[in-house]
Amino acid sequence: MPTNTEVAELFQGIADILDVQGEKFKPEAYRRAARSIESLTEELSAVAARDELRTIPGVGEAIEEKIKEFLATGKLDYYERLRKEVPPGILEMLAIPGLGPKTARRFWQELKVETPAQLADAIQQGRLNGVAGFGPKKIEQIRAAVVAAQGMPPATRMPIEQAFPIALRLTHGLREVRGVEQCEIAGSFRRRRETVGDLDILVTATDRETVFDTFSKLPEVREVRLRGGTKETVILTNGLQVDLRIVDPGEFGAALLYFTGSKDHNVMLRSLARDRGLKINEYGIFRGDDRVGGRTEEEMYRALSLAWIPPELRENHGEIEAAAKGPLPTLVEATNLTGDLHCHLARTVPGGDITAREFTAGVDRLAATARARKFGYAGVVVASVSESGRLDSVADDVHEHLGRADSPPLRLGRVVEVDGAGIPPEFAAVKPAYVILRPSAAHPDPPPPAVSKKLGAAVVAHVGGDAASRKWVAWAKANGAAIEVGPGPSRLDSTAARLARESGVPLVVPTGIDRPAEDPTGAVALGFARRAGAVPTDVRNAAPAAEVSRGWPKRKA
Partner DNA sequence: GCCGTTTTCGGCCCGACTGTTTTCAGTCG
Rule CB under 7 A: which residues touch DNA?
24-26, 28-30, 32-33, 54, 57-64, 78, 96-104, 132-139, 141, 198, 200, 226-231, 241, 243, 259, 263, 266-267, 270, 274-275, 279, 281-283
Q: Quick one: which of 229, 228, 174 has its CA closest to 199?
A: 174
Q: What angle do CA 137, 140, 144 make, to 5 degrees?
A: 140
Cβ closest to DNA, residue 20 vs residue 481: 20
Closest approach, Cβ 78 to DNA, in A, equals: 7
Closest approach, Cβ 39 to DNA, in A, equals: 14
Cβ closest to DNA, residue 103 vs residue 511: 103
Distance CA 63, CA 8 (A): 11
Q: Quick one: which of 505, 396, 408, 518 has its CA closest to 460?
A: 505
Which run of H or of E encompasses 225? strand 221-227
Q: Quick one: which of 291, 222, 198 has its CA closest to 253?
A: 291
Closest approach, Cβ 3 to DNA, in A, equals: 20
Scored b (16 or more CB within 10 A) or e, 14-24 reads: bbbbbbbeeee
Cβ closest to DNA, residue 226 vs residue 429: 226
Cβ closest to DNA, residue 14 vs residue 345: 14
- Whether 126 and 136 have beta carbons less than 8 Å apart is answered as no
Cβ closest to DNA, residue 133 vs residue 424: 133
Cβ closest to DNA, residue 144 vs residue 478: 144
Three-state DSSP class for residue 195: strand
Cβ closest to DNA, residue 32 vs residue 191: 32
Distance CA 9, CA 11 (A): 5
Closest approach, Cβ 232 to DNA, in A, equals: 8
Closest approach, Cβ 160 to DNA, in A, equals: 17
Closest approach, Cβ 244 to DNA, in A, equals: 10
Closest approach, Cβ 247 to DNA, in A, equals: 10
3-state secondary structure 289-331: CEEEECCCHHHHHHHCCCCCCCHHHCCCCCHHHHHHHCCCCCC
Pairing status of strand 290-293 against strand 284-287: antiparallel
Cβ closest to DNA, residue 133 vs residue 489: 133
Strand ranges in 446-557 using DSSP code E only, listed in sequence order = 458-460, 482-484, 507-508
Which run of H or of E encompasses 415? strand 411-418
Closest approach, Cβ 158 to DNA, in A, equals: 14
> How far is the CA of 53 from the CAs of 29, 40, 315, in angstroms?
15, 11, 18
